[in-house]
Structure 1
Amino acid sequence: MSNVDIILVSYNTAEYTVRAIESVFEQTKETDVNLIVVDNASTDNSVALIQASFPDVEVIQTGKNLGFAGGVNVGAKAGSAEYVLLLNPDTVILDGAVDKLVAFAEDNIKSGIWGGVTLNNDMSLNPNNARARISFSTLLFSATGLSKIFKSSCYFNHDNYGCWDRKSDKDVDVITGCFFLTPRALWESLEGLDETFFMYAEEADYCIRAMKLGYQPRVSADAKIIHHGGVSEVNLSGKMIKLLKGKSQFIKKHEPTWKQPIFKGLLLAHVFNKYISSSLISLVKKEKLAVRDEWRTIFQQRKDWLAGYQ
């Protein structure tokens, strides 16, 4: 029986975290699981609720918010299993997904990183389980809105592999960190996640570093989970600023110097276009004023997120 350290990083997500843990134990029958919760100084009742609900689960309290990468690294160091599985607290394991993903890994051992398919709460497809590496074309089509207009195209929406229906296994560039399996040996050789990425793009960085060693991330179509997404963020601007910071940091780390201003310029164009379009929509639909204000905040803080994580 394979053994896996499952790392959940908790931050003010008490009820979601309990639901995720319940689903792991209910749905995992063929894998020896060591579940470790790392709490990033939650101000809700997360720690008390988790400890009361699952007295045998290890809960590590960091005392401060280390971000996703920092929290995961703390959890991984506390384990010793042959596999490390990153699992977001806002997920629900479906139909033995952990067992299926581990079996898939052992059948595709040279991939080095494995993920599954993510669904929304209504069981519709959530295509954010995997994505392509940041490139000129992915940024351009996002900035111009073509990736949204032609979201079922693998040319215009290559970022999310738009034409892939998630009904088949697939090699991808990046496995999303919400359901992310990797061998401990590779994890340790790469020294875990780069903690410079406080939140977002840390899994992209890990995947690219692994690919440089000859590994090829791969998705199993049979391993399915529900992923709500972004439940620890209370507003659009908070989430987007962290996401853009992560992308900017990735560009700074992995792209040549001459490409960086071009790529960051396209990130800025994307935000500017969102701000302008939401402003125009709000002239007709007053209920959209809040969305306009969020994009205005994101645009106004452009110097901060374009700099990445210092």
Structure 2
Amino acid sequence: MKINLSVPKVCVITLNYNQKDYTKDCINSLLKSTYLNFEVLLVDNGSSQENFTKLENELPNDNRLIISRLEENIGYVGGINHGLLKASEKDFEYFLIMNNDTLIDENAIKELIITAEKHNGNAIVSGKVYNYDEKDTLQYIGNVYSDRKGILDYKSPIKNRREKDVGQFDTEMEMAMTDDIMWVIPRKIFKDIGYYSDYFYLYGEQTDYAIKAQKKGYRLIYSPKAKIWHKGGITTTNGNKKSARIIYWTTFATLKIAKLHFTKNESKKFFRQWLLRMTIKRILYFFKRKENFTILKAHTLAIIHFCFWSKIKYTDNGYNPF
């Protein structure tokens, strides 16, 4: 079946928060895309006036680029939801959400839409993520189920997020989980599921959204020809994935996802197994590197705060004690 790629209209949504250089490079890579029918909605999520002004002055004058400025940082979820609200007011058929610390391949949008059209809008489609600083190594393609095969028991096929790409993942496949580093949501799915949940500020929101989609019968599809290069963690911790700040947010988010999506029996089993496993892991990490006591503290505080959250399920305002 020949697909007329000039037909589906795509809105690319990405955020800037005091990262003008990464954002500028990301936008420039997007504007080189071979896809014919797209616009970029850049949401400035409360950056300093200086950062925003410099970014605005350095971005190309292109009618495909729309900038929406927020005076305050309302978090990743808030920023993306703002973008989705603006985009949904127009006649876009697909919403491509992607991180700003990325460089996208010129054919990526085209490949994502080819795959999405093939699945008749019944799938969230992601692609092949490479490392920003080592461009021929793979960082992420999605997750598969671990041998335990339980809910949230995912593992990445990529070894240590630094696996050389030699064509070993060049086949389209359905994934158990994926990430919004770069993913396409068809309008059909957005109308069914809605916005990202404000129970999250950042981290966990994409897992929550993907599980909601799976529960509705939609699929998570990996499209190997859609390529992007990703730094990761720039806004929150300058790329340090083992910081206490990230440990707090990811632990809190994981517990919330379990509470939101598990049955009562599944929740009990998960909390016993996951909490025990992760607590032991972080205690051992503490004894190995005692200067990293804050990692164990972050893990513990996230559990305590989750116990409060589980009673009333309040909106996450981004509080992080680290």
Bin the TM-score by the shorter chain.
0.7 to 0.9
| Structure 1 segment 269-284 matched on structure 2, within 5 A | 269-282=276-289
Aligned to 2:135: 123
Q: Distance in 2 between matches of 1:104 and 1:19?
A: 26
Aligned to 1:108: 119
The alpha-carbon deviation at position 219 of structure 1 amounts to 0.5
Assess, with a 3 A threshold, how the Cα gap between structure 1 residues 190 and 299 changes in structure 2: closer, same or farther.
closer
Where do 5+ consecutive residues of structure 1 fail to align? 142-157, 284-288
Structure 2 residue 42 is the aligned partner of structure 1 residue 34: no
Amino acid at match of 1:74: H
Aligned to 2:171: 168
TM-score if structure 1 supplies the norm length? Answer: 0.82
| Structure 1 segment 33-182 matched on structure 2, within 5 A | 33-43=38-48, 45-54=50-59, 55-56=61-62, 57-79=65-87, 80=90, 81-121=92-132, 122-132=134-144, 137=149, 158-161=154-157, 165-182=168-185
Aligned to 1:209: 212
The alpha-carbon deviation at position 195 of structure 1 amounts to 2.0
1:37-81 Cα shifts (integer Å, max 9, x gaps): 122212474422331123553222233332222211111121221
Assess, with a 3 A threshold, how the Cα gap between structure 1 residues 135 and 257 changes in structure 2: closer, same or farther.
farther
Q: Is residue 271–residue 298 contact of structure 1 (8 Å, CA) maintained in 2?
A: no
Q: Is residue 271–residue 295 contact of structure 1 (8 Å, CA) maintained in 2?
A: no
Q: Is residue 136–residue 263 contact of structure 1 (8 Å, CA) maintained in 2?
A: no
Where do 5+ consecutive residues of structure 2 fail to align? 1-5, 160-166, 315-322
What secondary structure is seen at the aligned counterpart in 1 of 2:263?
Answer: coil
Amino acid at match of 1:184: R
Q: Distance in 2 between matches of 1:9 and 1:266?
A: 36
Assess, with a 3 A threshold, how the Cα gap between structure 1 residues 274 and 261 changes in structure 2: closer, same or farther.
same
Structure 2 residue 16 is the aligned partner of structure 1 residue 10: yes
Aligned to 1:154: none
Q: Is residue 133–residue 173 contact of structure 1 (8 Å, CA) maintained in 2?
A: yes
What secondary structure is seen at the aligned counterpart in 2 of 1:130?
Answer: coil
1:179-219 Cα shifts (integer Å, max 9, x gaps): 01011232122112222222122222222222222221101
TM-score if structure 2 supplies the norm length? Answer: 0.79
The alpha-carbon deviation at position 123 of structure 1 amounts to 2.0
Q: Distance in 2 between matches of 1:196 and 1:74?
A: 16
The alpha-carbon deviation at position 249 of structure 1 amounts to 1.4
Q: Is residue 121–residue 186 contact of structure 2 (8 Å, CA) maintained in 1?
A: no
Assess, with a 3 A threshold, how the Cα gap between structure 1 residues 105 and 200 changes in structure 2: closer, same or farther.
same
Assess, with a 3 A threshold, how the Cα gap between structure 1 residues 200 and 134 changes in structure 2: closer, same or farther.
farther
Assess, with a 3 A threshold, how the Cα gap between structure 1 residues 230 and 265 changes in structure 2: closer, same or farther.
farther
The alpha-carbon deviation at position 297 of structure 1 amounts to 2.8
Assess, with a 3 A threshold, how the Cα gap between structure 1 residues 128 and 243 changes in structure 2: closer, same or farther.
farther
Identity of aligned residues (%): 21
Q: Distance in 2 between matches of 1:17 and 1:135?
A: 39
Aligned to 1:256: 263
What secondary structure is seen at the aligned counterpart in 2 of 1:219?
Answer: strand
Assess, with a 3 A threshold, how the Cα gap between structure 1 residues 299 and 215 changes in structure 2: closer, same or farther.
closer
Aligned to 2:304: 303
Structure with a larger share of its residues in helix: 1
Aligned to 2:247: 240
Assess, with a 3 A threshold, how the Cα gap between structure 1 residues 12 and 23 changes in structure 2: closer, same or farther.
same
Q: Distance in 1 between matches of 2:145 and 2:70?
A: 31
Amino acid at match of 2:86: A
